[in-house]
Chains A and B, each alone.
Chain A
């Protein structure tokens, strides 16, 4: 069953369809929240809140819009609000614990430190640049989709991604990491 059918069924109160629909976006919500907030605790809280909002507001979702874009907009707004309201208490734990489970091959294990550092650098980007980078790299959104989620002009999206990559690149070299 595709996502559109799931949405229609879930709107009629079909619990099974609702579960399938929420599960289809759970991973992307959590991943966005994790990279945005930088720690598992906040990521779980945001995922829970986002899923409840998706559920409680599903009736208002218009099918001419993209469901994944709508979900990511809810998620990103929650991240921004939580990040800003707790900005003095945000804990960037990095990726060490999480990444253990994501690495399979020997080659990837060798690159573990590099991957962790890169993940942490994404987490430490300025807020809106980080939001654009997360949508680009972990949700594979286009400029237009990112612009819709963040409610900013397409040119600003372009500029954020440009600045995000340059900032990470410069920090890599300042940090003495061999990136060649």
Chain B
């Protein structure tokens, strides 16, 4: 029925409505980043502001398939984008770097690190040590001190803890991270995930950071943890716990903070089987969510260089 097409797009298309949709769809809102630092100039101030934008707007280094949009005249950063002719363009705060499909672009900062953007990626330069990945994939190798370099995505804030990693943001805002070296921390809505080298973590708009897992974990284990994250499926939690290897203690530790009551007891008991927990991390204390016990259990994971841990703010304390 034609009236259904107008209502929800189902049924036989109404030619007029379909034609109007096609004509008007280019006007549809496309979400850009919310720019806190930029206050739009109103009314009579608008014309000069527009002229500034028009005049300075598009630094198109099209030869490398990259467009850099200037939001406003702003402070230059140490990040540079090299053109094909070798001439560097220094990025400014607030700029949007947008790569064309099938193109890779390298951003480099002597004091912070190197970031390679895959094709079809949109990256906002928030500042010297703050980027916003709106869509696409970035490969980062960061040499700034741990916890200085941040990447904000639509779902989480990724804090570099001295490392190399690959972060992807899909069109729906969900994210996927793999860490090649060091650590990355995800933060959102009071939840944290700590992802070491060899591990991965997904993110979603609804949940924020999911539970991380090692890339060599059994597929059944990864699937069960994912199911628990998505649906809080208790049967899946049981499967994950029974499938867990010693190395999956990382995942179990994170599950401690995502469960309570009998579910937490289930996770806690399995963790105690896989890892030698210190006295401070007693069963009772872990079930209470005691901060010192959680830290003791974390230390027992023995996951290599953890110097950044001393600096970390540990939201559960």
Is this pair of chains taken from one and the same complex? no
Q: Which of A's residues lie within 8 Å of B, judged by CB?
A: none
